[in-house]
């Protein structure tokens, strides 16, 4: 017996309604904010991620699913932002609109150690707004995340924000961090000792318990921010205040990807256990330029759908569309039944038939298991009289009606 690959999940029909409800709610909210959908390939040139996420990040160093097709190396995308930036430039979207808002829903792949809420194939609902560096956009993007969560019927989440500042500020932050970590260097894991030399901010995302303990004890201030970046952050905060969006400032929040600058944020939920980030994002003012494009800023975020589902009950209720279940008795009735189903469906009536030639009693049980609203029973006698029995499952009443009136009866 084959088994699914570790860290992947089958989404069975009982669960799929929950997924659909989340996706429908997301599409609705995105359209309220004027975002349009973009779908990019799951495989990309692996170098795209090295260049944008950063060669010293956990994802690039340890978590990429690589496909070697000499001389090319492809990667299963670990996230959406780099692909959207690539697509934005490749399709000249920068030339067709100065400002664009895009959203995406789809699978992402990271070779992580699987555990609750951490998969190797997981799904993002994400968005990117490209073309503006105004703080008002940061405010709108965070309020979009907030509104999406409300649409998913998720409560009790916490929005944590920080500002990394510009490239020079990030340098200053790295220097501050170097000073802070100096005494503890020997107690860091071998990877982090290397990170101190190559990209010290990545020490803050290390999953090693010892390193996390050391990082927690560090003192952070926003002293690395220049005046422009301080002003920007101040505007973001007052914008969120004016919308009544609760947030916490978390100075040690740097995010695990190199493309971020200025505003970064993460949203956590207490029901998720150790992997408590339900979504995260931030601003990337150099990413498009880094890929050879114009000097254009962007900001976005992504929610992990599997984690949203752990916190949301949306869509767990019975689907609203009514189902009619047809039971036929005998070959002639089955033949006529196929035509009846065809006609009902052409009128938009959802229906199903017993394909296992069960007894009336067990076919009724099957209809019940499917939560059918109506059962139709068609035997040889009914067929001769051109009638069909219609049973309402909720009240239990049963009556005979003319087959020609069936669509009318079920429509109302």
CA distance 319 to 70: 48
Nearer to ligand HAM, 165 or 279 (CB): 279
Residue 212 Cβ, how far from ligand HAM at the closest point, in Å?
16
Q: Which is nearer to ligand HAM, 7 or 180 (CB)?
A: 7
For ligand HAM, the closer CB: 22 or 119: 119
Tell me the C-alpha distance between 227 and 233, whole Å: 10
Nearest to 150 by CA among 301, 311, 20: 311
Give the residue with the Cβ less far from ligand HAM, 82 or 166: 82
Q: Note the residues at the interface with ligand HAM (CB under 6 A).
A: 79-81, 110, 112, 117-119, 122, 124, 126, 128, 277-282, 300-302, 304, 306-307
Residue 32 C-beta: closest distance to ligand HAM, Å: 19
**Could you tell me the smallest distance in angstroms from the CB atom of residue 375 to ligand HAM?**
42
Distances (CA, A) of 361 to 323, 327, 330, 392: 19, 10, 15, 16
**Which residues are paired to 118 by β-bridges?**
115
> Which DSSP symbol is given to 21?
H
> Of 107 and 180, which CB lies nearer to ligand HAM in the complex structure?
107
State in angstroms the smallest separation of the CB of 187 from ligand HAM: 27
Angle at 19 between CA 320 and CA 373, to 5 degrees: 20
- If you write DSSP's letter for every residue of 100-136 in order, what string do you get? EEEEEEEEEE-----BTTB-SEEEEEEEEEES---HH
- Minimum CB–partner distance for residue 119 and ligand HAM (Å): 4
The minimum distance between CB 301 and ligand HAM, in angstroms, equals 5
Which CB, 145 or 214, lies closer to ligand HAM? Answer: 145
Angle 274-105-237 (CA atoms, 0-180°, nearest 5)? 65
Q: Give the separation between CA 145 and CA 354, rounded to whole angstroms.
A: 45
Burial string for 361-372 (b: 16+ CB within 10 Å, else e) reads eebbebbeeeeb
Distance of closest approach, residue 33 Cβ to ligand HAM, in angstroms: 15
Asked whether 343 and 359 are in contact (CB, 8 A), the reply is no
Nearest distance from residue 384's CB to ligand HAM, in Å? 59
Report CA-CA distances (Å) from 140 to 148, 183, 240.
12, 41, 9
Q: Which is nearer to ligand HAM, 280 or 375 (CB)?
A: 280
Q: Which is nearer to ligand HAM, 149 or 173 (CB)?
A: 149
Q: Which residue is nearest to ligand HAM (CB)?
A: 304
């Amino acid at each position: 017996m084959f088994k699914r690959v570790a860290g992947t999940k089958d989404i069975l029909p009982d669960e799929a309604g929950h997924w659909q409800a989340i996706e429908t709610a997301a599409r609705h909210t995105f359209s309220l904010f004027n975002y349009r959908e973009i779908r990019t390939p799951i495989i990309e040139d692996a170098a795209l991620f090295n260049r944008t996420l950063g060669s010293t990040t956990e994802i690039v160093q340890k978590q990429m699913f690589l496909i070697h097709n000499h001389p090319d190396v492809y990667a299963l995308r670990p996230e959406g932002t780099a692909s959207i930036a690539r697509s934005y430039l490749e399709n000249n979207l920068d030339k067709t609109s100065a400002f664009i808002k895009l959203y995406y829903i789809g699978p992402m792949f990271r070779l992580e150690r699987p555990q609750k809420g951490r998969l190797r194939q997981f799904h993002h609902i994400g968005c990117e707004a490209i073309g503006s560096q105004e703080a008002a956009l940061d405010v709108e993007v965070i309020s979009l995340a907030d509104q999406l969560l409300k649409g998913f019927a998720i409560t009790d989440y916490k929005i944590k924000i920080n500002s990394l500042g510009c490239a020079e500020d990030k340098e200053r932050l790295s220097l501050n961090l170097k000073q802070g970590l100096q005494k503890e260097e020997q107690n860091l894991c071998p990877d982090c000792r290397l990170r101190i030399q190559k990209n010290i901010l990545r020490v803050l995302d290390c999953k090693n318990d010892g390193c996390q303990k050391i990082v927690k004890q560090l003192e952070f201030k926003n002293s690395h921010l220049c005046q422009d970046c301080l002003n920007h952050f101040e505007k973001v905060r007052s914008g969120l205040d004016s919308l009544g969006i609760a947030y916490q400032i978390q100075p040690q929040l740097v995010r695990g990807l190199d493309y971020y600058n200025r505003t970064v944020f993460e949203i956590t939920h207490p029901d998720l256990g150790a992997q408590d980030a339900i979504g995260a994002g931030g601003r990337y003012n150099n990413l498009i330029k880094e890929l050879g494009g114009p000097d254009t800023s962007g900001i976005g975020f992504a929610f992990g759908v599997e984690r949203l589902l752990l916190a949301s009950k949306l869509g767990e209720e019975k689907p609203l569309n009514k189902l009619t279940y047809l039971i036929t008795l005998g070959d002639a009735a089955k033949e006529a039944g196929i035509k009846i189903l065809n006609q009902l469906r052409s009128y938009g009536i959802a229906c199903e038939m017993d394909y296992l030639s069960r007894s009336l009693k067990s076919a009724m049980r099957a209809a019940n298991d499917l939560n059918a609203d109506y059962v139709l029973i068609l035997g040889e006698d009914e067929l001769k009289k051109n009638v069909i029995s219609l049973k309402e499952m909720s009240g239990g009443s049963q009556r005979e009606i003319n087959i020609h009136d069936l669509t009318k009866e079920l429509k109302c």
